[in-house]
């Protein structure tokens, strides 16, 4: 019989694997959703929900965090299923691409004529964050929406720290490359949402 810690380790592993396999399913890499993993997770969560008073504080804290993470993912997956059924999800980029479509104003979409690199969800030229607040807002919303749609945490992502990051990065690239034209890109790489800066020459 497994211990509580072993079960929680398995639960954490299964939740990570569930996200990976759902990303593959919604991206067109798998024909069926990972129902077996989801069933196993549900069983463990139900088991410890019934005996929560029997485990110690540290285990209870970890269990609650895992249960909340799973609940958050389930909501994301539910929305993805709905979009998939309605035919509104791009098969290549998955739901993240759809989430970006509403944020395209002022940016370049993935199917733009300029031919962005594979994985690009949103791109905008922003050479001075302080004088281009609308572009900063568009980029922030696009980045946050993509992360939320991909099931990534945005708890620490605020407009203030995002703007500060852009300000520092812009100054760094301008100084290092001597370029006045910078492009910020929201990209999907290996199932993870990234923010990249490119120097336009």
pLDDT attached to residue 76:
87
- The pTM for the full model equals 0.46
Instruction: State both tokens at 181.
Output: 């034209």
Per-residue pLDDT of the chain (201 residues; tens, 9 = 90+): 789 999 999 999 999 999 888 888 877 777 888 899 999 999 999 999 999 888 998 999 999 999 999 999 888 888 888 877 766 544 434 445 444 443 334 444 443 334 445 467 788 888 888 888 888 888 888 888 888 777 777 888 888 889 898 888 888 887 765 556 788 888 877 778 888 888 776
Tens-digit pLDDT profile for residues 91-107: 434 445 444 443 334 44
Q: What is the pLDDT of residues 145-156, one digit of tens each?
A: 888 777 777 888
How many residues does the structure list for the chain?
201
Between helices 57-86 and 4-26, what is the axis angle to 10°? 20
Neighbour-count burial for 105-120, b at 16+ CB within 10 Å, e otherwise:
ebbbbbeeeeebeebb
**Cα(170)–Cα(196) distance, integer angstroms:** 11
Do 104 and 123 meet the contact criterion of CB atoms below 8 Å apart? no
């Amino acid at each position: 019989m497994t211990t509580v810690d072993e079960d929680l380790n398995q639960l954490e592993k299964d939740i990570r694997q569930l996200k990976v396999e759902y990303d593959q399913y919604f991206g067109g890499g798998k024909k069926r959703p990972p129902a077996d993993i989801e069933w196993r997770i549900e069983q463990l969560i139900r088991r410890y929900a019934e005996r929560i008073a029997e485990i110690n504080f540290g285990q209870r804290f970890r269990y609650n965090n895992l249960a909340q993470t799973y609940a958050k993912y389930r909501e994301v997956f539910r929305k993805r299923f709905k979009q998939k059924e309605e035919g509104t999800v791009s098969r290549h980029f998955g739901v993240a691409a759809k989430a970006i479509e509403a944020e395209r104003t002022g940016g370049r979409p993935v199917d733009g004529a300029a031919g962005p690199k594979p994985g690009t969800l949103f791109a905008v030229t922003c050479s001075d964050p302080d004088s281009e607040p609308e572009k900063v807002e568009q980029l922030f919303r696009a980045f946050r929406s993509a992360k939320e749609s991909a099931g990534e945490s945005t708890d620490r992502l605020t407009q203030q720290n995002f703007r500060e990051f852009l300000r520092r990065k812009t100054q760094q690239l301008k100084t290092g490359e001597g370029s006045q034209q910078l492009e910020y890109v929201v990209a999907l790489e290996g199932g993870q949402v990234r923010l990249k800066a490119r120097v336009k020459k």
